[in-house]
Amino acid sequence: MPSDQLEASARLHPAWKPKRLLITPSALSWPQGAAMAERAAALGSEIVRLKADRLTGLPDNYRDAKTTMAVVVASPSRRRPQPIPPSADWRFDLAEGCPAHCSYCYLAGSLAGPPIIRAYANLPEILPALPPLLGQGQVTSRNAARAAEGTTFEASCYTDPLGIEHITGSLAETIRFFGDWEAEAQLRFTTKYDAVGPLLALPHGRRTRIRFSVNAREAERFEGGAPRMPNRLRAMRKAAMAGYRIGLTVAPILNLPGWREAYDALLSDCAAALEGAPDPDLTVELITHRFTEGSREVLQGWYPGSTLEMDPALRTRKTTKFGSVKYVFPRELMGELRRELEASVARHLPGARVLYFT
Ligand code: SF4
């Protein structure tokens, strides 16, 4: 889709509003936590000031959980960055949980309990844990393509930080924090959201790579509550024009009817959206759909009517190095997907670096 049509066709996705925001006394004592409560109150959310730091009164059903945000203080163990190959050297968390309703959501099965959104108030304790890790990344054959980026820090393992940024403000602070560094380092996050406006003028120093999670138009029916593709592409264009490094996270790649044409059209649309962007330094991550017994069970409970295929009989069972089992596409289909998608990337985005296919 040419960029002028893109501009005309996309209206900003409505910002998510939590019905209730719970905040602990410790979280409220941090200026960032108090600001989160103020922003949610301005949106019309009910603000519940808890009497103790233990979270109580959490909803136990999906619908209520997905409209609840809890602002808490990240404990020392939560603040400790963890290695996270192949997507980055280190992971750190600003929040957990996401307001969208994707029927393949990768958070299902990895976060315990009802899917509320937890945001951390103590950013001034979270960010200082990162600079001591500079130069401590591990370059392996699987991630060699991003070796030139310096030490990389991933902020979206358990959340979509842009989807809640209008309440937390944490992403903007983190982008500024990385922008101030002298060293070779990079903040990375993935998003399906489109509200990039407040990020555009930040002094990011090109030390942030915004990776837009994109999929074929036919996959949008599995992405409830997330901005539509034209919105994401328009946001990607704005971020690229503002000098951010850009990534495409093509995920999850699905065995859709006509998938070759569908993903080729997607990559063509991405190329059109980036047309004329000065230097997006584009990277591409290609991630096929997979599930575990645990995530399948959780997702079937959350989205009983979804038509997303999660049939172990149609998949290959794979044991990870940690001993857990996941179900991936059969080898032959994986090979075809890889060949075709890499060819589409080369055709439409010849300057892009494919970081990995998995
Ligand atoms: Fe899950 Fe990402 Fe969808 Fe949020 S946007 S529901 S994190 S898959």
**Half-sphere exposure (Cβ direction) of 259: Cα atoms closer than 13 Å:** 18
ipTM above 0.95, yes or no: yes
The lowest-confidence range among 92-96, 232-236, 322-326, 348-352 is 322-326
φ, ψ at 325 (rounded to 5°): -110, 135
d(CA 246, CA 206): 10
The angle subtended at Cα 88 by Cα 99 and Cα 292, nearest 5°, is 55
213/262 Cα distance (integer angstroms): 15
Instruction: Domain count for the chain, please give it.
Output: 1
Mean pLDDT of the region 189-194: 98
Report how far residue 138's alpha carbon sits from residue 152's, in angstroms, rounded to the nearest whole number.
10
Phi-psi region of 135 (alpha: psi -120 to 50; beta: other; left: phi over 0): left
At 324 the pLDDT is 87
Q: Over the chain, what is the mean pLDDT?
A: 93
**Residue nearest (by alpha carbon) to ligand 1 atom 8:** 105
**What's at 108, amino acid-wise?**
A
The CATH number for 157's domain is 3.80.30.30
The predicted-structure confidence for 239-277, as pLDDT tens digits, reads as follows 999 999 999 999 999 999 999 999 999 999 999 999 999
Q: Report pLDDT for 12.
A: 80
Q: Which among 215, 272, 274 has a CA at the least distance from the CA of 240?
A: 274
d(CA 262, CA 40) in angstroms, rounded, equals 38
For the CA of 101, the closest atom of ligand 1 is 6
What is the whole-number distance in angstroms between the Cα of residue 22 and the centre of ligand 1?
Answer: 22
pLDDT digits (tens, 9 = 90+) for 134-191: 888 665 555 566 667 789 999 999 999 999 999 999 999 999 999 999 878 999 999 9
Tokens 């059969």, residue located: 330
> For 274-301, what is the mean pLDDT?
95
How sure is the predictor about 76, in pLDDT bands with cuts at 50, 70 and 90?
A: very high
User: Which residues approach ligand 1 with their CB closer than 6 A?
Assistant: 98, 100-102, 105-107, 160, 192, 226
Q: Where are the beta strands (DSSP E) in 137-221?
A: 151-154, 185-191, 208-214
How confident is the model over 78-123, as pLDDT tens digits? 999 999 877 789 999 999 999 999 999 989 978 888 899 999 999 9
Q: Which atom of ligand 1 is nearest to the CA of 191?
A: 5
Of 16, 98, 118, 214, the one to substitute when testing ligand 1's pocket (max ligand atoms within 8 A of C-beta) is 98
CA of 103 to the centre of ligand 1 (A): 9
* pLDDT of res. 6: 54
Is residue 283 very low, low, confident or very high in pLDDT (cuts 50, 70, 90)?
very high
pLDDT > 60? residue 7: no
Torsion over CA: 67, 71, 75, 78 (sign): positive
CB 222 within 8 A of CB 257: no
Going from the Cα of 52 to the center of ligand 1, the distance in angstroms, rounded, reads 30
Q: Is 128 exposed, middle or buried (0-12, 13-18, 19+ CB in 10 A)?
A: exposed
Q: How far is the centre of ligand 1, averaged over its atoms, from the C-alpha of 247 (Å)?
A: 17
The mean-pLDDT minimum among 87-91, 129-133, 192-196, 212-216 falls in: 87-91
**What is the pLDDT at residue 173?**
98
Amino acid at 217: R
Whether 215 contacts 251, CB under 8 Å: yes
Q: How far apart are the first and last CA of the chain?
A: 27
Domain with 68, as residue range(s), is 3-8+17-357
